Amino acid sequence: MPNTPPRSGEIAGAEATAASDTLDGLVDRKADHIRLALDRRMQADQSVFAAWRFGHVALPEIDRDAIDLRTPFLGRTLELPLLISCMTGGTDLAARVNRNLALAAQRAGVALGLGSQRKALEDPSQAETFKVRELAPDVPLIGNLGAVQFNYGYGLEECRAAVDMIDADALALHLNPLQEAIQPEGQCDFSELLPRIRSVVQDLEVPVIVKEVGSGLSAATGRRLLDVGVPILDTAGVGGTSWARIEAARASDLPIGELFADWGLSTPESLLQLRPLSSDFTLIGSGGLRSGLDAAKALALGADLVGIAQPFLAAALDSAEAVVDRIERTRQELEIAMFCLGVTRPTDLRRAELSRRDTP
């Protein structure tokens, strides 16, 4: 059933945050994001993966026990091709979320992204809320900054500081023009970012990931990023958490959120555009993946691994065990799909029959 968008003022605490982007404003924004992301109405109206169907293989000719989900990523081996996508940090609640995510990532053997570290760079007392390496010594940890910050005083030094803060295996630079444009306090000077991304890719000691946050990367944008040497792209397409809706709710301007709610490329469309660019880069499929079956479809559409954010948020507010359960469920669903397709390795899913059904 489609979500009914909230009416203006309906979401407790989501009133306009017209304050300038001071550190206090940043802290409030991060708290708003957690609260709003948990609201079902901030999600896409329907699954972008539901229209895609695998061709069932009644004679799979494999032993389910032969399925091997292990996947190399950033010099380590994941137990399954899953990244808990970058979400939060900077508040007590965020610290709890990050701790539980880290414990679960370590236990389940999946990668973990932390939320934007800008706040912790500007107020070092916040850094503790991001520091989870001790809890997750063996899995890839990914730092996070907004690429647009390169036009607001940030450079290589801040990237290095973000990496050092959490002993990261990679740094994700997020692209979020729609989110910034809807925020009253948004930072919208996105000019000349590509050369700045190029120099960080060249000089930073760890690999750079460039990710969208929910509107998808197109082939044209992906090409420009690969051309400057970005080794890892994360689609984060339309289909999951809607930053248009979240920022519109914060700004008490819900109509603008609805107008732009499906702006961009859906995750399947984005994957179909990006994979043919090259077999030589790591492609993370994310945005609206809500099950291991969705993960199987993203892998079949060309992703090397998948990212999931919002579904882990409520679990992480609860406990590390709840996050592990959710990961385990995802693993089980992915494995069932692979068994009924007769494939034992995630990369073999690209050979599975997957077609789009426009009518049920």
**Which residues of this chain interact with ligand FMN, rule CB under 6 A?**
33-34, 37, 85-88, 115-116, 144, 172, 174, 211, 213-214, 236, 240-241, 286-289, 308-310, 313
Q: Please, what sign has the CA dihedral across residues 268, 276, 214, 81?
A: positive
Nearer to ligand FMN, 67 or 331 (CB): 331
The least distance separating ligand FMN from the CB of residue 107, rounded to whole angstroms, comes to 20
- Nearest approach, Cβ of residue 302 and ligand FMN (Å): 18
Rg (CA), the chain: 19
Closest distance of CB 320 from ligand FMN, Å: 18
Strand partners, 173: 145, 210
Biggest CA–CA distance in the chain, Å, is 61
Fill in the amino acid letter for 38. Answer: L
Which residue of the chain is nearest ligand FMN when measured via CB?
A: 240
Closest separation between CB of residue 43 and ligand FMN, Å? 7
Cα 253 to the center of its chain, rounded Å: 25
CB 303 within 8 A of CB 283: yes
Rounded to the nearest whole angstrom, what is the least distance from the CB of residue 53 to ligand FMN in the complex? 21
CB of 153 to ligand FMN, least distance (A): 18
Please state the closest distance from residue 169 (CB atom) to ligand FMN, in A: 16
C-beta closer to ligand FMN: residue 114 or 135: 114
Q: Which is nearer to ligand FMN, 29 or 275 (CB)?
A: 29
111, 170 contact by CB (below 8 A): no
Non-local CB neighbours of 243 within 8 Å, separated by 6+ positions: 176, 178, 179, 182, 213, 214, 215
- Give the span between the Cα atoms of 162 and 144, in whole angstroms: 7
Which residue lies nearer to ligand FMN by CB, 283 or 343? 283
Q: Which residue's structure tokens are 């990523």?
A: 73
Say which DSSP state 266 is in.
Answer: B
Least CB distance from residue 251 to ligand FMN, whole Å? Answer: 17
Three-state secondary-structure class, residue 106: helix
Angstrom distance (rounded) from CA 264 to CA 282: 21
Compare residues 98 and 116 and give the one whose CB is closer to ligand FMN: 116
- CB distance 109 to 78 below 8 Å: yes
Q: Smaller CB distance to ligand FMN: residue 266 or 286?
A: 286
Tokens coding 172: 């994700």
For ligand FMN, give the closer residue by CB, 240 or 302: 240
**Under a CB-based contact definition with an 8 Å cutoff, are residues 133 and 164 in contact?**
no
113: tokens are 């992204």
Looking at the Cβ atoms of 201 and 341, the one nearer to ligand FMN is: 201
